[in-house]
Structure 1
Amino acid sequence: MTTTIDKIAWIHLSGGRILGTRSRGNDVYYLPGGKREPGETDIDTLAREIMEELTVTIDRSTAAHLGTFQAQAHGKADGVLVRMTCYTADHDGTPTASNEIAEVAWLTYSDRDRVAAVDQIIFDHLHGDGRLT
């Protein structure tokens, strides 16, 4: 039986780099975002998670769906997949690590092996489009 973890992620690109986060105790980077809470829309989840992780406010009116990607969940048993629905959006504030985040980093395509499997697929997509160098 396959289990799917439903996550929402913020794609924040600047100068050919993408913003990544590493949670405390994790050995890989993830795109900022997280799991939906009951009753939340994608944009509700995006805004809440980004505020919690990076202390910035997402401009909901600018949120645009970039794509949905799926892969084996990092650190989970076989048959556990993560489906990542990705959005771009403008924001107010400077991304700063909250208590749950150990590190914020600007990553390039050369950092592909340092991110979770689903993020690697997203990196490939963005690199193929010329948005991630």
Structure 2
Amino acid sequence: MTSASAVPSRIIHIAAALLIRPDGQTLLVRKRGTSAFMQPGGKIEADELPVHALARELEEELGLLIDPTQATFLGQFSAPAANEPGFVVQAEIFQLSIDAQVSPAAEIEEVLWIDPATDGDVILAPLTRDLILPFYRASLAASA
């Protein structure tokens, strides 16, 4: 057994959404008491499928009801956690097209729609800034 296996897990497993509006804007959220905007979503419970965790979190945080069968799995992405120093976020990312109003609830303090081709002139979580938005931009360029 290596000493690394004795170290407690520093990984936070989450499900998160790349929510796209008909005008192409994507939704970012900021948790109360933090400065970085990120994809909406949250921790996956032990007995939960990632897409069901996402549906639960979107309802709790934004009052958004989604059909899990409409979520397209984009992949698993990992990056330093924005709000938990020393932790890594391992995210199951799903894309959804939505045409519904959202409003912040639970721990969400602010929601923001941005053009995914930009950073929205706000502080972005590493996962959003370094992986998710570049991945989405590349997919748009490939389909253009």
* Category of TM-score, reference length = shorter chain: 0.7 to 0.9
Q: 1:4 to 1:110 in 2, by over 3 A?
A: same
- Alpha-carbon distance, 1:112 to partner: 7.2
TM (norm. structure 1) is 0.85
Q: Check conservation: 1:58, 1:92, Cα contact below 8 A.
A: no
Q: 1:30 to 1:36 in 2, by over 3 A?
A: same
Provide the residue aligned with 1:16 in structure 2. Answer: 24
The structure with more radius of gyration:
2
- Alpha-carbon distance, 1:10 to partner: 1.2
Provide the residue aligned with 1:62 in structure 2. Answer: 70
Q: Check conservation: 1:60, 1:89, Cα contact below 8 A.
A: no
- Alpha-carbon distance, 1:16 to partner: 3.1
Q: 1:129 to 1:53 in 2, by over 3 A?
A: same
- Alpha-carbon distance, 1:47 to partner: 0.8
CA RMSD of aligned residues (A): 2.1
Q: 1:18 to 1:90 in 2, by over 3 A?
A: closer
* Paired residues for 1:39-58 under 5 Å: 39-58=47-66
Q: Check conservation: 1:22, 1:102, Cα contact below 8 A.
A: yes
AA aligned to 1:88 is Q
TM (norm. structure 2) is 0.80
AA aligned to 2:30 is R
- Bigger fraction of residues in strand: 1
AA aligned to 1:3 is R
Q: Check conservation: 1:57, 1:91, Cα contact below 8 A.
A: no
Q: 1:39 to 1:105 in 2, by over 3 A?
A: same
Provide the residue aligned with 1:123 in structure 2. Answer: 133
* Paired residues for 1:93-104 under 5 Å: 93-104=100-111
- Alpha-carbon distance, 1:53 to partner: 0.4
Structure 1 unmatched ranges of 5 or more: none
Deviations 1:87-117 (A, max 9, x none): 1235584211114211110023233762110
Q: Secondary structure in 1 aligned to 2:48? A: coil
AA aligned to 2:95 is T
Provide the residue aligned with 2:3 in structure 1. Answer: none
Provide the residue aligned with 2:123 in structure 1. Answer: 114
